[in-house]
Chain A
């Protein structure tokens, strides 16, 4: 912006009043929620959790169900497509979806709290299981390299992994405090590296199998005593009956770790949202499915049975790298690369768990279940730092309690994720009959029956998920006990917090977003962040009249266009001190909350701006000239005719100087009035 800023008052002359209508004070309204990410970044965020399971699921599942584990992992990956389809349908109804919103709409607030409490348990475990595994891989590598370097150290894998896991968690705590955009970029880099590792490992495994020959593992299950849980003394799990299959599947469901994050990340996905979500889903299920399944099969077929679980149960991929065909030095190098990638992606899973739980807690806070205190924004980065802090403290606590035992964490896991799927799927079924909101996409296999469509596909997914979850209750003792305890704890927290909030929230209608307000010395300064070549200024005033903003976002090319949504108010009621401003009035808070909702719906970034001025048209003209807007798009005013709006803007535009050519549009009810100035 090299042009002189029109907001600067002109030099005093004989009248002594020139420039008194110019805006001198500007408040930049910000929140991390107004940024959107491309689908591959969203896929990377989810995959950083889901694909990371490849590093531990093989060992944990085989310990529970024997050599048949890869077949069940394959089945879980196919099942992931069904669950993703359910999420796709729920996301097409609710932008801020996720299990809480969907369950609340279908089954009520109390059931929603239970489902979220269960889900929070899985988020609390995803971080620790990933970070501890990362630690174990790293320490495993160090311990195997030390002898070659004549170093006589041997690091205790348990406590060493606890220390590393804590450091990883703290690192991503910091990243999330800074904001999702930076974190999702990091996830993308990790996934690029992970892809290289996957291709290398699978190609080398293929070569090894070609040289040595191979035999696919048997599909027969051999449940360990631990894996039978409370059913070990019954005949239910003897042989491969239906119960046995459900139990084995339940022990492999760990592979779906991170899938719920997809619903949380949906809000962040840029336009076109649903189409991009479909791409995200396919990327996730194909990537995680192929990588996880193929690696698990390769591990079982290549690593000898006598060392696979006893020696490499907790770092199976290191074992695979070391048992491939080739010279030792190359295998060691591959192991180092595997550990490096594993460390990175497992650390990324910690990030995803923090993002996911933060998003879930945000939905609860918006709904008045968590007190406003939790929603306080970080003064600099605009993130909900208190929620992030709480999640990270709990994860650190779990890391400490686990003492680096991955199997223990893996056993405890699945409870939350499978029950959150049960609630979510059941709710989507209920909503088919309860809510007639238009859906952009529905789970297939719907049989017409009179005026109804029977959701056969959805119902089948729901029944199967319920069966697996029920079986898990009996076979996964650790998961059931700790899951109930943890979920009850979260449910208690939500209930108490909601009670505390009830009185305070009674008067409020709907939720209001929290925004950071930053005092800027002038419009040039406030608009200096604009980078894209095309710029549209959208003046806003009435929170019920954002039709024009919607129309702009519907058609705008968000890759090349900056959209600034600006409101102008008389400089009263604001407290400006230094670079911070506070006391946003409720009217503006409602207005910007609605702007945020519109931006989320279309997945387009909007830059909100609040200008303190005693003439809104001067503020609009100044902002448009300063940002070099090619278009100024008004909504129709209920007080002023469109012609009078245009005339006043033409006058103020001229009063500020010649300015640049601009197209002024007024949009209402599918109609448009547009002129150039």
Chain B
């Protein structure tokens, strides 16, 4: 449960510009990923376990430091409205102070995971990202969420799982971008 809007949020909101979609840069998922940031996982069984595992890999791959710095933020966001969709995709994410750009990792699961908050929605694909906690970037954050949700549709997740190779997966995503 997130408390009602505090003063900080209100002032941020007041400053937030009304933006028009045509002026927004198009998010390109493939550019955020590399071979080490697309992971096929066999052994994880829960959403939280997958988040921890993928975050550790992301921190290592992007030299972000200790995952424990970011995990509470992601879990705080997870406590809010669910990040799991009925397409088999989950998008755990957090806005982090001090980072300048988006860092993302893609997890693909041959055996579907369970989200304790949405037990009827199995997760087969997880796109986890950390974004700058800057009101100016919030629009980009929304575009990224939308883009990930548009891209990782059930049939495409099937394709990515069948590819079984991070490089092939990135190529498929690039084509989709």
Contact = CB atoms under 8 A, between A and B. Distances in A.
A329 interface: no
Interface in B20-69: 20-22, 24
A15 B1 contact: no
A419 to B, nearest CB: 52
B9 A676 contact: no
Contact of B89 (A20, A655, A657, A666): A655
B16 interface: yes
A534 to B, nearest CB: 16
B5 A668 contact: yes
A19 B21 contact: no
A641 B9 contact: yes
B141 interface: yes
A663 interface: yes
B80 A644 contact: yes
A658 B5 contact: no
Secondary structure of the B contact surface, majority rule: mixed
Given A642-B5, A647-B145, A18 B86 contact: yes
Contacts of B2: 639-641, 644
Nearest to B89: A655
A629 to B, nearest CB: 13
A481 B151 CA distance: 80
B148 to A, nearest CB: 7
B85 interface: yes
B14 A17 contact: no
A661 B21 contact: yes
A602 B110 CA distance: 55
B163 interface: no
Contacts of B151: 654
A671 interface: yes
Interface string A588-624: 0000000000000000000000000001011000000
Contacts of A575: none
10 contacts: A10-B87, A13-B154, A15-B112, A15-B154, A17-B86, A21-B86, A647-B142, A654-B145, A657-B150, A661-B21
B26 to A, nearest CB: 11
Nearest to A658: B150
B145 A639 contact: no
A182 interface: no
Contacts of A10: 87, 153-154
B73 interface: no
A648 B146 contact: no
Contacts of B87: 10, 18, 655
B175 interface: no
A45 to B, nearest CB: 41
Q: Nearest 6 CB-CB pairs, A to B?
A: A654-B149, A676-B21, A661-B21, A674-B18, A654-B146, A673-B13
B83 A651 contact: yes
B107 interface: no
Nearest to A647: B145
Contact of B5 (A22, A636, A648): A636
B154 A18 contact: yes
Residue from B10, B13, B155, B158 with most neighbouring chain A CB atoms (10 Å): B13
A501 interface: no
A78 interface: no
Interface residues of B, number: 50
Q: Give the interface size bracket for A toward B.
A: 35 or more
Contact of B139 (A652, A661, A676): A676
Contacts of B112: 15
A645 interface: yes
A459 interface: no
Interface string A653-665: 1110110011101
A658 B153 CA distance: 11
Nearest to A660: B21
A636 B83 CA distance: 20
Nearest to B139: A675
Contacts of A197: none
Nearest to A648: B81
A651 B80 contact: no
A528 interface: no
B4 A638 contact: yes
A643 interface: yes
A13 B155 contact: yes
Contacts of B120: 17, 20
A14 interface: yes
Contacts of A636: 4-5
Interface in B80-130: 80-83, 85-89, 91, 93, 95, 112, 120-122, 124
Contacts of B80: 640-641, 644
Interface string A200-235: 000000000000000000000000000000000000
A648 B141 CA distance: 11
Contacts of A21: 85-86, 121
A295 to B, nearest CB: 58
Given A17-B121, A644-B2, A648-B81, A672 B146 contact: no
A168 to B, nearest CB: 55
Given A655-B149, A676-B24, A671 B142 contact: no
Interface in A224-254: none
B10 A671 contact: yes
A677 interface: yes
B153 A646 contact: no
Residue from B24, B86, B95, B121 with most neighbouring chain A CB atoms (10 Å): B86
Nearest to A649: B142
Residue from A13, A645, A662 with most neighbouring chain B CB atoms (10 Å): A13
Nearest to A16: B122
Given A647-B81, A655-B85, 11 more contacts: A10-B87, A15-B88, A15-B124, A645-B81, A652-B149, A654-B146, A655-B89, A674-B17, A675-B18, A676-B139, A677-B146
A618 B80 CA distance: 16
Given A20-B120, A675-B138, A676-B139, A13 B150 contact: no
A668 B85 CA distance: 28
Contacts of A650: 142-143, 145-146, 149
Interface string A13-53: 11101111110000000000000000000000000000000
A20 B155 CA distance: 16
Contacts of B1: 639
B90 to A, nearest CB: 10
